[in-house]
Amino acid sequence: MRRGRFAPTPSGKMHLGNARTALLSWLHMRSLGGEFILRMEDIDTARSRKEWAELALTDLRWLGLDWDEGPDIGGPYAPYTQSERLERYEAAFRQLEAKGSLYPCYCSRADILAAVSAPHGLSSEGPAYAGTCRHLTPAERATRGLHKEPSLRFALPEGQEVIFTDGIAGPQTFPPGSGGDFVIRRADGLYSYQLSVVVDDADMLITDVLRGSDLLDSTPRQILLCEALGLEIPEFLHVPLLNGPDGKRLAKRHGGIAISAHRESGTPPERLVGWLAYVSGLIDRPQPVSASELIDSFDLALIPREPIVVDVPHI
């Protein structure tokens, strides 16, 4: 059984880019006769809000999307909210620790920036870590530990490149060390997105991960974690982002991007779904259509391979 998911972060109102990813992931699974899972990625509790998680459910249902398992309806792999799954992340952390895959890092953000000679990092996570703390002696670690609680980093395997074929972006090759050793647990004890998403996808038997292309360069990290933890690697599919007329990623500055604003203003959901389908290449003109009407004709090959420039006021 094919199983896909949509996993929003409830750190703000759901916007057009989120909705498009949800729609495409939902259509992908429904067109294959698969199961669609909804998961709330609220691992960063400082930024997440319960009211935004509830609003996301309302917005998704208004768009005509449903799910087979989720935080509101449960399912065999519950809980579906990351803040309720900390024991699972702790178990995976201990497994990595026992394998010797982790090491303590005492660097501050300023230290990391000062050690960078070239960015070569992840677009979503800043410059690559230079490995400053990777080869500290036990004595050096003990001395630094007197002054700072360390984060724990995953040591990238020496000399290992990561090669995979993305279902939309095509063949991908990441050279050894891409992005640098990355944080698994922060100094304040918060587990990272990279660890939590890998554990969640494995626990929930996710076979297909369709998400935005801004997460494409996170994929090699997640593949390496799957290998280190002995987990199945899902198929990855990264869709190009929506950009505003200025060529930059669609954001609040472009106006009119919150789904709730369209819903509350009386916009018919079919109108918004039709616009999302049009900008995603699924239909040849922006016309009202329900999500369910798009299932039979859905084809990944129709989705553009480059970022899409949109003009929100013309929805």
**136 within some domain:** yes
User: Where a domain ends, among 193, 228, 253?
Assistant: 193
pLDDT confidence bin for 127, thresholds 50/70/90? confident
pLDDT at residue 260 in the model: 95
pLDDT confidence bin for 261, thresholds 50/70/90? very high
pLDDT at residue 244 in the model: 83
Whether 193 has a binding-site annotation, put simply, is yes
The CATH number of residue 155's host domain is 3.90.800.10
Beta bridge partners of 104: 152
Within this chain, do residues 60 and 100 fall inside the same structural domain, yes or no? Answer: no
pLDDT at residue 257 in the model: 85
Whether 133 has a binding-site annotation, put simply, is yes
Between 13 and 122, whose confidence is greater?
A: 13
Between 118 and 20, whose confidence is greater?
A: 20
pLDDT at residue 45 in the model: 87
d(CA 110, CA 97): 26
What integer is the mean pLDDT of 141-153? 94
- Amino acid identity, residue 6? F
**107 within some domain:** yes
For the record, the structure tokens of 88 come out as 């699972």
pLDDT at residue 77 in the model: 98
pLDDT at residue 119 in the model: 41
pLDDT over 60 at 124, yes or no:
no
pLDDT at residue 120 in the model: 44
pLDDT at residue 114 in the model: 56
pLDDT over 80 at 300, yes or no:
yes
d(CA 53, CA 42): 9
Domain count across the chain? 2
The CATH number of residue 33's host domain is 3.40.50.620
Whether 226 has a binding-site annotation, put simply, is no
* Percent of the chain predicted with pLDDT > 90: 83
pLDDT digits (tens, 9 = 90+) for 52-77: 999 999 999 999 999 999 999 999 99
Within this chain, do residues 98 and 43 fall inside the same structural domain, yes or no? Answer: no
**232 within some domain:** no
Within this chain, do residues 96 and 163 fall inside the same structural domain, yes or no? Answer: yes
Residue 99, CA atoms < 13 Å, CB-side half-sphere: 17
pLDDT at residue 109 in the model: 80
Whether 128 has a binding-site annotation, put simply, is no
**8 within some domain:** yes
Whether 85 has a binding-site annotation, put simply, is no
Within this chain, do residues 297 and 251 fall inside the same structural domain, yes or no? Answer: yes
**14 within some domain:** yes
Within this chain, do residues 94 and 188 fall inside the same structural domain, yes or no? Answer: yes
Whether 80 has a binding-site annotation, put simply, is no
pLDDT at residue 266 in the model: 94
d(CA 164, CA 173): 7
Residue 170: which domain range? Answer: 88-193
**211 within some domain:** no
**72 within some domain:** yes
pLDDT confidence bin for 112, thresholds 50/70/90? confident
Whether 236 has a binding-site annotation, put simply, is no
User: Where a domain ends, among 193, 225, 249?
Assistant: 193
Whether 174 has a binding-site annotation, put simply, is no
Q: Where are the alpha helices (DSSP H) in the chain?
A: 16-32, 50-62, 86-98, 109-114, 138-145, 193-203, 219-229, 259-264, 269-279
pLDDT at residue 106 in the model: 96
User: Where a domain ends, among 156, 177, 193?
Assistant: 193
Instruction: Tell me the average pLDDT of the chain.
Output: 93
Within this chain, do residues 75 and 92 fall inside the same structural domain, yes or no? Answer: no
Within this chain, do residues 93 and 171 fall inside the same structural domain, yes or no? Answer: yes
pLDDT confidence bin for 263, thresholds 50/70/90? very high
Within this chain, do residues 169 and 112 fall inside the same structural domain, yes or no? Answer: yes
Whether 107 has a binding-site annotation, put simply, is yes
Within this chain, do residues 137 and 42 fall inside the same structural domain, yes or no? Answer: no
Within this chain, do residues 101 and 55 fall inside the same structural domain, yes or no? Answer: no
pLDDT digits (tens, 9 = 90+) for 92-106: 999 999 999 999 999
Within this chain, do residues 93 and 172 fall inside the same structural domain, yes or no? Answer: yes
Within this chain, do residues 95 and 188 fall inside the same structural domain, yes or no? Answer: yes
**235 within some domain:** no
pLDDT confidence bin for 254, thresholds 50/70/90? low
pLDDT over 50 at 118, yes or no:
no
d(CA 114, CA 130): 10
